[in-house]
Amino acid sequence: MSGAGAVLSRQLAGRVAIVTGGASGIGKGICRVLAARGAMVAVVDLDGEAAGATAEEISAGEARAAHFQADVTDRASLDDVVGQVVDLYGHIDICVANAGVIAGPGFTERRDYTDDDWDATQSINLRGVVSTNDAVKAHMIERGAGRIINIASHSGRTPRGAPGSLGDIQIPYSVSKAGVIQWTMHLALQLGQHGITANAVCPGTLWTPMWERIANMRKRFDESVRDLSPREIFDRHIGLNVPLGRPQTPEDIGNAVAFLASDDARVITGQALNVNGGAMMN
Ligand SMILES: NC(=O)c1ccc[n+]([C@@H]2O[C@H](COP(=O)([O-])OP(=O)(O)OC[C@H]3O[C@@H](n4cnc5c(N)ncnc54)[C@H](O)[C@@H]3O)[C@@H](O)[C@H]2O)c1
């Protein structure tokens, strides 16, 4: 590699990143991109075994990664991970709060939300992000530097779907993601004076285990797609909703995160960046 490509590949050399939900889907893509650009990556997930597999895959090349089991709804487990990462790598430069769920357990079998859906989305998607950020904040303030990047969703920006449509089960999710965007802006206000930026990335539609569950739910309740496979339901959704006509990949989201974590983004804070093929424009 030469020229700009080589510079880009070392863009995050020496930086340490912590990524929650790093064992699967988007989080895994973020870990791969950050590691490929030179960062040492702490892969944090509820599923410790899968986090280990991701860390091993990343470490197979030149890059360095370690894995940690933690539940983002348990602040003590996040404090513990932050302490271990600092012990291992010396510091933390980048915090990516990505862990999230679409709804509560068993949601594919119902079309209307329940208390479980509100509890799961608020405690994991919103409070989990707040706790993850709070767990690294003191360390970053002490260093006078840091990049916080929270994974929201474009569904957190504006409501979609007619009342009573299939979208109802996703309302608690969308509200939790709107909360993540609002929280991130507050964080940017709070932490700017310490040289720390805080931004959100709003992915659009990606074929991950999360979207596969959504497709299964649609297959059950939407007669117009009953004969399609989950992947065909996803592809149809892309064709109908995405101007660029293609889904995003976990690496597309990783590229946006890497940009926000890089020196190129040093004066960007309090923003929410859509990475969605133009599916929603704001
Ligand atoms: N897939 C999409 O189309 C899409 C679109 C917009 C936003 N997002 C957001 O991107 C993020 C990742 O989604 P994904 O599609 O990769 O989902 P995924 O289900 O593939 O991965 C989520 C990961 O989070 C982990 N996790 C769940 N609960 C946790 C907890 N309490 N503590 C720690 N880890 C936990 C899971 O074990 C899993 O590894 C989520 O915040 C999601 O809302 C996804």
Q: Are residues 81 and 219 in the same domain?
A: no
The atom of ligand 1 lying closest to the CA of 173 is: 43
CA of 1 to the centre of ligand 1 (A): 33
CATH of the domain at 96: 3.40.50.720
Name the least confident of 5-14, 67-76, 103-112, 230-239.
5-14
Q: Are residues 158 and 233 in the same domain?
A: no
CA of 24 to the centre of ligand 1 (A): 7
The tens digit of pLDDT for each residue in 15-50 reads 999 999 999 999 999 999 999 999 999 999 999 999
Output b/e per residue, 116-155; b: 16+ Cβ within 10 A. ebbebbbbbbbbbbbbbbebbbebbbeeeebbbbbbbbbb
Q: Are residues 50 and 66 in the same domain?
A: yes
**What total of structural domains would you count in the chain?**
2
CA of 21 to the centre of ligand 1 (A): 6
CB within 6 Å of ligand 1 — which residues?
A: 20-21, 23-27, 45-47, 71-73, 98-101, 124, 128, 151, 153, 203, 205-206, 208-211
Burial of residue 90 (CB within 10 Å: 0-12, 13-18, 19+) is exposed
Which of 20, 24, 132, 133 best tests ligand 1's pocket when mutated (most atoms within 8 Å of CB)? 24
pTM score of the predicted model? 0.96
Q: Are residues 130 and 220 in the same domain?
A: no
Residue whose Cα lies nearest atom 32 of ligand 1: it is: 71
The tens digit of pLDDT for each residue in 247-256 reads 999 999 999 9
The tens digit of pLDDT for each residue in 202-228 reads 999 999 999 999 999 999 988 899 999
The tens digit of pLDDT for each residue in 83-115 reads 999 999 999 999 999 999 999 999 888 888 999
Return the C-alpha torsion angle 252, 196, 267, 250, nearest 10: 0
Q: Are residues 137 and 23 in the same domain?
A: yes
HSE (CB half, 13 Å, CA atoms) of 195?
10
Catalytically active residues are 173
Q: Are residues 182 and 214 in the same domain?
A: no
Q: Do 205 and 247 meet the contact criterion of CB atoms below 8 Å apart?
A: yes
Q: Can you give the pLDDT at residue 165?
A: 59
Q: Please check whether residue 282 lies inside any domain of the structure.
A: no
Q: Are residues 148 and 176 in the same domain?
A: yes
Q: Are residues 199 and 235 in the same domain?
A: no
Q: Are residues 89 and 129 in the same domain?
A: yes
**Structural domain of residue 211, as residue ranges?**
207-247
